[in-house]
A and B are shown apart, each in its own frame.
Chain A
Amino acid sequence: MGQKGWLFDVNRCIGCHACTIACATWNGTDQVFWRRVVKFEWGTYPDVTTRNFSMPCLHCADAPCMHACPVKAISKREGDGIVLVDQATCIGCTLCFWACPFGVPQIGSEGKMSKCTYCDTRPDGLPRACEEVCPTKAILSGDLEALEPIARQRGAERVGGPAGPSLFVVR
Chain B
Amino acid sequence: MRGMAGTAEILEQLKDAEMTPGICYVCPFNCPTEVYTRAGQIVYIKGNDTSPNQGSRCIKGQASHYLPADPERLKYPMRRVAPGQFERISWDAAFDLIAEKLTAIKAKWGPESVVFLWHIDPNSVFAHIFLTQCYGTPNYYGHTSACEQDRRLACLAVFGHPFPVRDYERCRHIMLWGINQLGANQNIFESIGLNAALSQGAKLVYVDPAFTTTASKAHEWISIQPGTDGAMALAMVRVIVEEGLYDEPFVRQWCHGFEELRAHLRERAYTPEWAEPICKVPATTIRRLAREFATTRPAIAETFKGLGNYANGLDASRTVYILNALTGNVDGPGNLILKEWAPLNPPIEIPPERRATIARPPLHVAMGYPLAPDLPTQLLPQAVLEGKPYPVKGIFFQCTNPAMSEPNTTRYREMLRALEFSVAIDVYMSETANDCHLALPEASFYERAEVRQGLWMGPQAILCAPAVAPVGEAKPLYEIIRGIAERMGYGEEFRWTSWEDWARRIVGGLPVGLEELKRQGYWAGPLRYHKYQEAPLGTPTGKIELYATSFAEKGYNPLPEWREPKVQPDTEYPFRLINTKLDIHCNLTTQNNPILMGLVGENWAEMNPRDAAPLGIRDGDRIEIESPLGGTTIRVKLREGMRPGVVCVRHGHGFGHWMGKVPKGKGTHINPLIDTNVNPISGGIGYNECKVRVRRV
Contact = CB atoms under 8 A, between A and B. Distances in A.
- A touching B, CB within 8 angstroms: yes
B107 interface: no
Nearest to B188: A135
Interface string B204-216: 0000000101011
Interface stretch (A39-47, A83-91, A98-106, A161-169): A39-47
Interface string B5-20: 0010010001000000
A135 B641 contact: no
Contact of A21 (B63, B188, B217, B610): B63
Contact of B62 (A18, A122, A136): A18
Contacts of B44: 25-26
A30 interface: yes
Interface stretch (A8-16, A64-72, A109-117, A144-152): A8-16
A33 B598 CA distance: 10
B2 A22 contact: no
> Most chain-A Cβ atoms within 10 A of its Cβ — which of B2, B3, B56, B199?
B56
A126 B10 contact: yes
Contacts of B63: 21, 25
B213 A15 contact: yes
Contacts of A57: none
Interface string B588-614: 000000011001000000001010000
Nearest to A132: B55
B583 A20 contact: no
A15 B214 CA distance: 11
A76 interface: no
Interface string B635-650: 0000111111000000
Contacts of A45: 223, 608, 610, 640-644
Given A41-B639, A50-B211, A25 B45 contact: yes
A125 B4 CA distance: 9
Contacts of A121: 14
A44 B608 CA distance: 10
Contact size range, B: 35 or more
A133 B56 contact: yes
B147 interface: no
Given A16-B583, A132-B2, A22 B640 contact: no
Contacts of A123: 10
A17 B58 CA distance: 7
Contact of B640 (A16, A41, A51, A133): A41
A17 B640 contact: no
A24 interface: yes
A132 B46 contact: yes
B126 interface: no
A11 B44 CA distance: 29
B192 interface: yes
A12 B195 contact: yes
A127 interface: yes
B158 interface: no
A134 B47 CA distance: 10
Interface string A120-160: 01110111010011111100000000000000000000000
Contacts of A15: 213, 583
B502 interface: no
A48 B221 contact: yes
B269 interface: no
A87 to B, nearest CB: 20
B305 interface: no
A137 B470 CA distance: 35
A25 B62 contact: yes
Contacts of A51: 216
A44 B2 contact: no
A24 B44 CA distance: 10
Contacts of A30: 595
A125 B55 CA distance: 16
Contact of B182 (A14, A20, A137): A14
Given A41-B641, A44-B640, A14 B217 contact: yes
18 contacts: A14-B183, A18-B58, A21-B595, A22-B57, A22-B62, A24-B595, A25-B45, A30-B595, A33-B599, A41-B211, A45-B608, A45-B640, A50-B213, A123-B10, A132-B49, A133-B47, A133-B62, A136-B192
Given A14-B191, A127-B7, 13 more contacts: A16-B182, A21-B595, A22-B46, A24-B595, A41-B639, A45-B641, A48-B640, A50-B215, A126-B4, A127-B2, A132-B49, A136-B195, A137-B2
Interface of B: 2-4, 7, 10, 14, 44-47, 49, 53, 55-59, 61-63, 65, 182-183, 188, 191-192, 195, 199, 211, 213, 215-217, 221, 223, 583-584, 595-596, 599, 608, 610, 639-644
